[in-house]
Structure formats: structure tokens, C-alpha cells
Amino acid sequence: MSEKSRTARRWWVRGRVQGVGYRYFAQRAASELGLAGYVRNLDDGRVEVYAVGAEDRLSELAARLWRGPRWADVRGVDEQEAEPRAYSSFEIEV
């Protein structure tokens, strides 16, 4: 993928999103969509997701982040454009 066609987004997911498998859900979704980046828990109870890839794939990931895994209760997803950075895969950061 050329640099021009690569874009990046960052999301902050609120609700019951820690301790329910949300990071694993996000990693699986992003990997299925061919995106690179990371997901991590934040100290304030939110989950941060950063992904880089094609615009349509990022939009699909955003839709999946709103759903979350079965036991999650997503109350909000804040999104912002981000600077594309070089990641070779999508990882869970601890």
C-alpha cells in the first residue's frame, strides 16, 4: 500500500470495555481487516485503539469498535485522525 493511500485513526472507547476481552476483540477485528497498530487499556477505564491502513477498512473497524465483544457495554467511541506510523502488525500493548 502506498503512503498516500494509508491513513490513520485513533479511538477512545468508553463503557464496560476492560476485563471483557475488548482488546482481543479489537486485535482480531483489525487483523481481519489487514490493519496495523495497537490496542491498550488506559488507567481511566477506557481502551485506546490506533490503526493505520486503507480508509474503508478503518471505517469498518470503527463500526466494529462500537459493537465490541459479547460482554462489553460500549457507551461511546471518540475518534480522531492520527499521523500514520509504521507498524507491521496489530498488537495488544500492555
Give, in degrees to the nearest 5, the angle at Cα 69 between 6 and 62.
Answer: 25
For 13-28, how does the pLDDT look when each residue is reduced to its tens digit (9 = 90+)? 999 999 999 999 999 9
Is 23 annotated in the active site? yes
Is 41 annotated in the active site? yes
In degrees and rounded to multiples of 5, residue 28 shows phi and psi of -65, -45
For 55-66, how does the pLDDT look when each residue is reduced to its tens digit (9 = 90+)? 999 999 999 999
Task: For the chain, give the mean pLDDT.
Answer: 95
For 37-49, how does the pLDDT look when each residue is reduced to its tens digit (9 = 90+)? 999 999 999 999 9
Q: Residues 68, 71, 74, 77: what is their CA dihedral angle, to the nearest 10 degrees?
A: -30
Residue in 10, 28, 41, 57 annotated catalytic: 41
List of residues 6+ apart from 20 with CB closer than 8 A: 68, 69, 70, 71, 72
Residue in 23, 57, 75, 85 annotated catalytic: 23
What top-level class would CATH report for the domain 3-92? alpha beta
